Amino acid sequence: MTLSSLKIRGISRDESHAFLSAMCVPFGLDPTSDGIERLNNRFELDRLRVAVDGDEIVGTFGTFSLQMTVPGGKLPVGGTTVVTVMPTHRRQGVLRALMTQHLHELHERGEVLGALWASESAIYGRFGYGIATEMAQLKLPKPYARMQTPIDIAGSMRLLDKPQALEMFPAIFDAVSAERPGMFDRSASWWQHRTLADYEDHRGGFTAHRYVLQVRNDTPVGYVIYRTKLRPADGAGDVRIVELIAIDAQAEKSLWEFVFGIDLAGTITDANMPVDTPLRWWLEHPREMDRRVVDAMWIRPVDVAAALAGRKYSAPGTLCFHMADDLCPWNNGTYLLEADNDGTATCTNVDQPADLHLTPFTLGCVYLGGQRFQDLATCGLLVAKPEILKLADRMFAWNRQPWCQEIF
């Protein structure tokens, strides 16, 4: 294959099966009998792309149209998904061609950021994506699932069925996601076909979803979705948290107290928690919690000026920086970022010497406030005077650590 013979195009609904079959090969999966229905329900078909070599699909690519919380607001974001290249066509420029077209499409649609979860951490830095959020993964043996200060659960816990969860959970989620950078809005379809979808082949031997709502003073304040698995040999089992969302610390602590009380549990696991969750500070034996922090969502600026003017800042200040961006050449140039006392800012092109030199990767890392300029400078990823780094860190810091609630 040569790049001149490669074509990138959208798909028709009649090509859903071919798309699914091609996508499954690099992911090490087999298409399921209901895979086409899932594909049609869970993805935006008009935003799916294929790379074709002749009549053969050799690469797949998709985008979700997201509204994502950034410090002080929300912005339109293109969420990259189902990115694959056939093993017969690796290292031949297929992914770069797909990604280049994708970034141009985001720019044309006014989506100022691109976001993704990396299947492998070595892939996307070269395309300008930086590690914007991290997640904490926990495993806690049940004997150590105890609070340092025992509490009485505030309010009540109610076990719901799926229709009830679909009715009650979104308002709680919306209140929380509006305050934490990195979370994105969920449509009714997303709730129905992704968040609350409960396919048996996704359970891994665990039960169906259990949906629990917390109500305090007649107001819903939190929920947890979880599964359990019993080990008949020892009469114990595992509790797997799918999602735990609470509007405040009191609700979060009460939800964990509920989880700790689930019977016949040997271990409690949660694969995606915010890194600043207070749980470890509440535990009587925090050392017994296996807590691993890993990279989560990666983002890259597609429109530098719009992205920086579209968020708020924790301190006033002025930064003059240069951006070099090979894949999005419209971003190349020198910018003046000016943040006021109220957190609002402007970002404009200027013709003056820069105090700071950034790449899409480094800006992606710090954009949501999850990484520090000083840390990137220590690693040699950017160079600036100490006073510039300190100012940048004060400006970009935010009161909540960024977190993305689910892999997309």
Question: What is the mean pLDDT of the segment spanning 388-396?
Answer: 98
- Which phi and psi angles does 64 have, rounded to 5°? -100, 140
Closest CA to 401 of 246, 179, 118: 179
CA distance 236 to 255: 21
Amino acid present at 385: K
188-221 pLDDT, tens digit per residue, is 999 999 999 998 888 989 999 999 999 999 999 9
Q: Residue 94: pLDDT above 70?
A: yes
Q: Which residues pair with 73 in a beta bridge?
A: 70
CATH number belonging to domain 3-111: 3.40.630.30
CB atoms under 10 Å from CB of 408, counted, come to: 19
Please report the pLDDT score of residue 153 as a whole number. Answer: 83
pLDDT exceeds cutoff 90 at 390: yes
User: How far, in Å, CA of 256 to CA of 217, rounded?
Assistant: 19
Instruction: Please say whether the structural domain 136-294 has been given the CATH code 3.40.630.30.
Output: yes
For the chain, the straight-line distance linking the first and the last C-alpha, in angstroms and rounded, comes to 31
Report domain extents, the chain: 3-111, 136-294, 303-396
Burial 131-155 (b: 16+ CB within 10 A, else e): bbbbbbebebebeebeeeeeeebbb
**Burial of residue 123 (number of CB atoms within 10 Å: 0-12, 13-18, 19+):** middle
Inter-axis angle of helices 16-27 and 35-42, nearest 10: 100
Mean pLDDT on 215-230? 97
pLDDT in tens, 394-405: 999 999 999 999
Res 236 pLDDT > 70: yes
Give the model's pLDDT for residue 340. Answer: 98
Q: Are 168 and 213 in contact (CB under 8 A)?
A: yes
Per CATH, domain 303-396 is 3.30.1050.10: yes
- pLDDT exceeds cutoff 90 at 231: no
DSSP codes of every residue in 146-212: -BSS--PPSSEEEEE-HHHHHHHHHHHHHHHHTTSTT-B---HHHIIIIIS---GGGSTT--S-EEE
d(CA 336, CA 317): 10
**Tens of pLDDT along 4-58?**
689 999 999 899 999 999 999 999 999 887 888 899 999 999 999 999 999 899 9
Long-range contact list for 104-110, CB < 8 A, 24+ apart?
Answer: 104/328, 105/63, 105/78, 106/63, 106/78, 106/302, 107/302, 107/303, 107/328, 107/330, 109/76, 109/78, 110/76, 110/303
Q: Fold match between 3-111 and 136-294?
A: yes
